Chain A
Amino acid sequence: MSTDATLDPLIHVPARLQIVATLAALPSGDALSFTRLQEMIGLTPGNLITHLRKLEDADYLMSEKTGNGPTSRTSVALTNRGRAALDEYTETLRGMLNGL
């Protein structure tokens, strides 16, 4: 059974699903630093940046850089659109599993 056609292909990739699920589990209005997200997901910085860029291009998440030089910090947070996309993804997944 092909699932990729019906499930949001932007989310339906293990690394991106983990990223979106991690950010969605944070309290509403919170953002997470790039470093802690990387530590939790276990991806290399380059890999994580690639996935984050794809999600950011789709307006599923937003990133914010604060500070300069060695003290700079990048934080990422899920947008309302990203949260809605995960909700829709979860609903589709639930429908698929109920049909199996």
Chain B
Amino acid sequence: MDPREAARLLEQTTRATKREFDYRSLRLTLVAAPVIVIVFGVLWYSVRDQHPYKGPTPAALGVMYTVLALWIAFAASTAKRANEGLSGRSIRQQRAFSAILVAALVGVSVFEGLLKADGASNGIAYGIYPPTAQLIVLGTIGAAMMVAREDWPGFGVSFSLILVATGSAFAGPRGVWLSDGIGCFVIVVAGAIAKAWMDRAPQQTA
């Protein structure tokens, strides 16, 4: 085998393997972007003219839960396909992070109920708090996971989520949905473009 041929084979195999096991595929991101627009767009639309603020309408919440359930099912099947045949440390890490994420999101929802029960306004309990807390949780756990995988573009996306969530809180109970939606959409699309560019960049193998 010629050295050039060996170098080409080595590079092609390495790239193909990394692509095969990357559950954050471009397809997944392309589906995530419209999901963000629909979810945050519908929630914002339902609260934009509320005076006084009451919170997202049941119909808007129904759309949100349906779209999120479909996206979670799609993401889970993509991750399952990517992880097929794989065992060891990274699988154990993914399971641990998933458990932490579910526990943290449940905790956020429980705390939302406690806030309301303790007299917090609708603007806080059903407006600013839910998206801000959930995005901060998602961003923090995502960032920790990306650090463990040494996935720096992924870390950038997660870190940016925390910044968007924190900044959007200042937009008030109505504006927070729009601001989070636009911010998350930009982050996800920018992250996908950065990832596609990095995946296509020539790698120095030999």
Contact = CB atoms under 8 A, between A and B. Distances in A.
Interface of A: 3, 7, 12-14, 17-18, 21-22, 24-33, 35-37, 39-40, 75, 77, 90, 93-94, 96-97, 100
A27 B89 contact: yes
B86 A21 contact: no
A25 B86 contact: no
B3 A18 contact: no
A26 B4 CA distance: 24
B21 interface: yes
Given A30-B88, A97-B206, 7 more contacts: A14-B1, A21-B10, A25-B21, A29-B89, A31-B86, A32-B87, A90-B205
B3 to A, nearest CB: 4
Interface string B11-30: 00110111011000000000
B7 A25 contact: no
B91 interface: yes
Given A75-B87, A90-B10, A26 B17 contact: yes
Interface string B65-93: 00000000000000000001111111100
Interface of B: 1-4, 6-7, 9-10, 13-14, 16-18, 20-21, 84-91, 149, 205-206
A29 B88 contact: yes
Given A3-B1, A33-B87, A36-B84, A27 B9 contact: no
Q: Is the interface of B mostly helix, strand, loop or mixed?
A: helix
Nearest to B89: A29
26 contacts: A3-B6, A7-B6, A13-B1, A17-B6, A18-B9, A21-B17, A25-B17, A25-B21, A27-B21, A29-B89, A30-B87, A30-B88, A30-B89, A33-B87, A39-B85, A40-B16, A77-B88, A90-B205, A93-B3, A93-B6, A93-B10, A93-B206, A94-B206, A97-B3, A97-B4, A97-B206
A26 B21 contact: yes
Contacts of B88: 26-27, 29-31, 77
B206 A90 contact: yes
Contacts of B84: 33, 36
Contact of A3 (B2, B9, B10, B205): B2
A11 to B, nearest CB: 9
